[in-house]
Structure 1
């Protein structure tokens, strides 16, 4: 099957030396004692990509993401393990990697195409499409050293994707450049996916990982920490980011099969969350536009100098629909002591499109749970929005419109002149 990737026992280590002479001595005296230590950046990495599958790789800087992609792309040799790839690979790694600054964009495009295994006549046939997609105009015949980083990315992406590969490997390069070209690039990636290309992508963009990928892999300190559903992996990764100095991230499987992620210091915790209708009854099915109250009870377990409570509504793909907190409303609570309870009641109209939604709860010191996270709890409430009273509409928000229609005959017709 073209596009299949199998990674087994993969590891990468670099040699480190105590001094500059130790490297020379080891080279001059190859059979003497070992004078280096191995610094492992990746160890024991095992995973498979089926043909046509899209997998996102996430992790903090230094976790080994780019090194892994370089080994799969063949630009870096592994220390241990094996990589088996079936099919033609196109890689978009470091921005403009392999571009010669003194050659023109066209010359670099030809050389890059040859490195991908394309023949001269194939590159010549593809060149108009490369120029059209990159949209850099006359710069295509200017030296690459005159390009901005965004222009380099446009040309590099256009060349790498001019001919649909069996495997496409994309590093952070798409984070450079304007929103228009990012959108255009992701649309091309989606087209390739629909046509059967296997995709391996590194990105910090949660939206990209969740909308494009079938699966996500989390790397942590050079090892494979977790892999699975993109939403669940990104939830765990975000919680891990907030709790870098504490081992307080935990996950629990809910009755409907979703994986809830909970993290935080525990100084304050969510005791109860309920979604109530106008009569105070707990609901999990809500009519479009109905008034609801999100009731959150918080327990203070130890002294908290400043408490901010917020909530985030997400759709079934994990995309943020709406979020707010008491910091942004200038209503933080201060000087809280152990044993106190707080009840927050948030009342709003459920002006959402029909579908499944979830509410996550955040207890923090300031605006973001990335700064002193007392508790972050995904899937605190899961509810369904239905539409039985309003006109059928599409989209994630109900923006109740009023329409005025003016209908009249054209002036020419009024005067009796044939239109």
Structure 2
């Protein structure tokens, strides 16, 4: 079983004012340093327990790739240490370690040996690697003629040909086609069930929330926050929207979940409820039952154009359905301070049994990145139960009519 221990990890690079300063420091060391340290990472501390899956997120430049290089040993830390147990397989930069003039097959042998496999083991696993990569005759062509997706297919196939104790995956999977991404994540989930420890770097909210037990947010080279994937991803998305304004806040609800709220506060949701066909507020809804999502918004400042959107998410935070009044061509113009607006969205609850939440957004267009008046996660939590329908699996009620013929 593999585990990762990161203690007081830091990485700094030397910055010299001129190229002659570097030479002077090397030639005249007794005159002291002539550089300044540029810290890329500082004071990073965390552990990944055996069998745990942890997602690593952060904006570009936050230090994610540097951290993975320090963990895997391809770069040396300035401070602190990393300790890992078990056999490690890592997919970092796309095509890292591949020689462009070697064929895919030759690179498989080279990469496999770097992962600790013998030539005999690689030869034995080669049919499986070729089949999973699925690039056909290109396996015997130089890597320089490969697309980025083909390189990723080969790299992932060889890195996961044997189940590792620790699997570390950077953004590499994001360049693949949808089919291979599904295939890759199926293999990752299979490894997880067998006890592989996973460290995954991705901007894909669904990937982080469906695969990981915990998420870590890096910001400016520091470990900014860690916790449940849904909580951290909500905070990360709000942080992106509010990069210019420090208006992101979180609060723990009575059910133990952490709610993220961001925005200028110029408008706010004062009430939200699910209403059944009898006009009653409900927290439990039958599969397929007609409901109304009623949202009351109060304006606190002049709003030239107001749009309300909502997103229904499952218990892992994955989106089930979302829309807004911009997409429905029903924005409100000239909303004045003190105005109250009640929105009613009528639909059939065609979701599978489970617990769901509703996130709301008050904006001016179809995105919260322009004018984010308020973005509220976990604005409402409700449960769907199957009280009258035949048993079915999945997150949506898509009951078919069936025709069978025996010609």
Interval of TM-score (by shorter of Structure 1 and Structure 2): over 0.9
Q: How far apart in 1 are the matches of 2:402 and 2:174? A: 40
**Count of matched residue positions in the alignment of Structure 1 and Structure 2:** 407
**Partner residue of 2:274?**
275
Give the distance between the partners of 1:4 and 1:390, measured in 2 at CA.
Answer: 45
Residues 402, 147 of structure 1: alpha-carbon distance in 2 compared, 3 angstrom cutoff: closer
Alignment RMSD, CA only? 1.3
TM-score, structure 1 as length reference: 0.94
Q: How does 1:181-330 map to 2 (within 5 A)?
A: 181-330=180-329
SS at match of 2:295: strand
Match for residue 29 of structure 1? 28
Stretch moving more, 119-128 or 75-84:
119-128
SS at match of 1:191: helix
| Deviation digits for residues 360-384 of structure 1 (CA, Å, limit 9, x no counterpart) | 1110111011222110111111111
Please give the alpha-carbon distance, in whole angstroms, between the structure 2 residues aligned to 1:235 and 1:12: 28
- How far apart are residue 68 of structure 1 and its match? 0.5
Compare 322-331 and 351-360 and name the one that shifted more: 351-360
Partner of 2:365 in structure 1?
Answer: 366
CA distance in 2, matches of 1:83, 1:326: 50
Per the TM alignment, residue 174 of structure 1 is displaced from its structure 2 partner at its CA by: 0.1
Aligned residue number for residue 81 of structure 2: 82
Q: Tell me, which stretches of 5 or more residues in structure 2 are unaligned?
A: none
* Deviates further, 110-119 or 321-330: 110-119
Matching residue of 2:147: 148
Deviation at 1:404, TM superposition (A): 4.6
**Structure 2 CA distance for aligned equivalents of residues 312 and 324 of structure 1:** 7
Gaps of 5+ in 1: 411-419
Question: CA shift at 1:399, angstroms?
Answer: 2.4
Matched, 1:16 2:30: no
Q: How many Å separate the matches in 1 of 2:220 and 2:323?
A: 33
CA distance in structure 1 between the partners assigned to 2:58 and 2:107 by the alignment: 32
Check if 1:73 corresponds to 2:77: no
Which is higher, the Rg of structure 1 or of structure 2? 1
- For residues 270 and 336 of structure 2, what CA distance do their matches in structure 1 show? 16
Q: What SS does the aligned partner of 1:345 have?
A: strand
How far apart, CA to CA, are the structure 2 residues paired with 1:130 and 1:291? 50
Distance 1:331 1:62 in 2: 39
Determine the C-alpha separation between the residues in 2 that align with 1:302 and 1:385: 37
**Equivalent residue, structure 2, for 1:178:** 177
In the alignment, what sits opposite 2:51?
52
CA shift for structure 1 position 304:
1.2
TM normalised by structure 2 equals 0.97
